[in-house]
Amino acid sequence: MDDKIKTIRKHLFDVIDPDMKIDIINLGLIYNVELNDGICNIEMTMPTRSCQFGESMTQNVINTVEKN
């Protein structure tokens, strides 16, 4: 696994589901992290279909990747 991908995954442990109070990695919400030509693609899901925090969690993931 690429070092940059490892770093991104490490920082995703800091993104917490506000409802469950558990990080999105341990919840199993992140399926895949890829880097292609400097563009990061993250395949993820929400804990429930009608997750009220979906937009904020997605934005937290984007902010985390952009910072690192």
Q: What is the pLDDT of residue 43?
A: 97
Q: Which residues of 24-49 are buried (b: 16+ CB within 10 A; e: fewer)?
A: beebebbeebeeeeeebebebebbee
Tell me the residue range of the domain where 22 lies.
Answer: 3-67
Report pTM.
0.86
Q: What is the pLDDT of residue 35?
A: 93
What CATH number is associated with residue 17? 3.30.300.130
Total number of domains constituting the chain: 1
Kindly report, residue by residue over 27-64, the tens digit of the pLDDT: 999 999 999 998 999 999 998 888 888 899 999 999 99
